[in-house]
Structure 1
Amino acid sequence: MPSTVNRVMTTDVLSVGEGAAYKEIVDVLLSASVSAVPVVGADGRVSGVVSDQDLLHKEEFKRVAPDEDYWPPLRARLRALLSGAGPGRRRAADKAAAATARDLMSAPPVTTSPDASVVQAARLMERRGVKRLPVVDGRGRLVGIVTRRDLLRVFDRDDASISVEVRRELEDTLGPAARGVEAGVEEGRVRLTGRVNRRSDGERSARRTASVEGVVGVDNALNWRVDDVVPDHVQWRAR
């Protein structure tokens, strides 16, 4: 069964209120050695996230010459536009002038739920380009935070425990025919050998094996008695 966020998230979460001052936020980040904190409104719901990047705009926009007019790099402006934050220069400049978390934070926040799978959380982080996700309950209240490093914990399993679960998956997939399949595990990589009745059984077994937590990769060396897999080009011609 895939791990859920509540198994890997941190529940002792630092947060700041929307009215938290700039230096207060800096103190929180530095004292806790974190790069971002959720911002919580008066109703207890997460309203945004403020990061060291948000705070550094104040330093970024300081003039080093009286007539200097600084523009953020094109990449940063495009990223702001794609995220719906408005023109990059104006948004970054607004944060440079901001004094409280309400104006500094990135909003709306990208959040997840405790019951979301680790796979879903990883995909959300990648899609939205974030390194952490506040974890909220059904009312939007903060219950934890999950980072990219937390998600890597699913790979922190020994080969023996992976082997037990792989065997269980094979038996669920193949039934009694699983006795004809061997699954060797080394450093999280699984090698399937033996014979199955149909080629599709072998491919399905490999997919199920790959879904086991802690599995780094699968080498499918299974043989089959009947090739029941129709090549893609044959399927296309039959349409």
Structure 2
Amino acid sequence: MDAAEVMTRPVVTVEPSTTIRAANALLIDHGFSALPVVEHGGRLVGIVSGIDLLVQSIGQGAGATTVGQVMNKVVISAPLTATPTELASAMLGHRLRCLPVVDARGCVVGVVSRSDLLRVLTPDDDVMTARVDRLLRAYSRTRRWTVEVVGGRVAVSGPFEDQAERQVVAALVRTVPGVVGVVLGGVPVDATT
């Protein structure tokens, strides 16, 4: 696996001539922590973070100030061939929330965020466990059940009030994408139960 399989694309970028106001709007609209700054053709020339924009907006106002005036010109980036471990090392070592990915010409082709890396480094069963657990806690408003997932097969253990509740729990669990089977209290539940 390499950066090309981890990164988010298409990339939202700005140019040095983009106003602070427009860059702020992009960050807010997309929920990003930073934006790569590219010149015409897509070559990476800087990065502007939410902090850079916030400081500028509070200090002197967004007015006619451009991204080129506040961007960081020293940018840490990664090649398309970087492994998830290399990406994580770069992000942790430089305390980055996002990392631009560039091709051989230095053009931005993607961005890797912390959540992109977590998604790759977290096993699917763990993600499914968290989803089922959250769903069951929302249903019962307590932590009555223990959830374990192996190979997409969800096992829920703990007390059930009655058969109707067992059916509700089984139906809820089946709403989670990727579930291939449900076991309640050690008993497999078929689709008709």
Q: What TM-score does the superposition give when structure 2 sets the normalisation length? A: 0.59
Aligned partner of 1:149 among 115, 127, 152: 115
Is 1:137 aligned to residue 103 of structure 2? Answer: yes
**Deviation string for 1:133-184 (max 9, x for gaps)?**
110001100110001111112233346xxxxxxxxxxxxxxxxxxxxxxxxx
Q: Could you tell me how far apart the structure 1 residues matched to 2:90 and 2:110 are? A: 16
Residue correspondence of structure 1 range 37-52 to structure 2 within 5 A:
37-52=35-50
Residue correspondence of structure 1 range 1-239 to structure 2 within 5 A:
3-61=1-59, 99-158=65-124
Gaps of 5+ in 2: 126-147, 151-193
Task: Note if contact 1:36-1:50 (Cα within 8 Å) is conserved in structure 2.
Answer: yes
For 1:143, give the aligned amino acid. Answer: V
Task: Note if contact 1:46-1:140 (Cα within 8 Å) is conserved in structure 2.
Answer: yes
**Deviation string for 1:61-81 (max 9, x for gaps)?**
36xxxxxxxxxxxxxxxxxxx
SS at match of 1:144: strand
For 1:48, give the aligned amino acid. Answer: G
Residues 98 and 121 (structure 1), Cα distance of their counterparts in 2 relative to 1, 3 Å cut? farther
Q: Could you tell me how far apart the structure 2 residues matched to 1:96 and 1:123 are? A: 34
The percentage of counterpart residues that share the same residue type is 35
Structure of larger gyration radius? 1
Q: How far off is 1:26 after superposition?
A: 1.1
For 1:24, give the aligned amino acid. Answer: A
Give the number of the structure whose residues are more often helix, by fraction. 1
Residues 158 and 34 (structure 1), Cα distance of their counterparts in 2 relative to 1, 3 Å cut? closer
For 2:5, give the aligned amino acid. Answer: R
Which segments of structure 1 move beyond 3 Å, counting only runs of 4 or more? Answer: 59-62, 95-98
Q: How far off is 1:59 after superposition?
A: 4.3
Q: Could you tell me how far apart the structure 1 residues matched to 2:64 and 2:45 are? A: 16
Q: What TM-score does the superposition give when structure 1 sets the normalisation length? A: 0.49
**Deviation string for 1:75-120 (max 9, x for gaps)?**
xxxxxxxxxxxxxxxxxxxx99981111111122110011101101
Task: Note if contact 2:37-2:45 (Cα within 8 Å) is conserved in structure 1.
Answer: yes
Task: Note if contact 2:2-2:81 (Cα within 8 Å) is conserved in structure 1.
Answer: yes
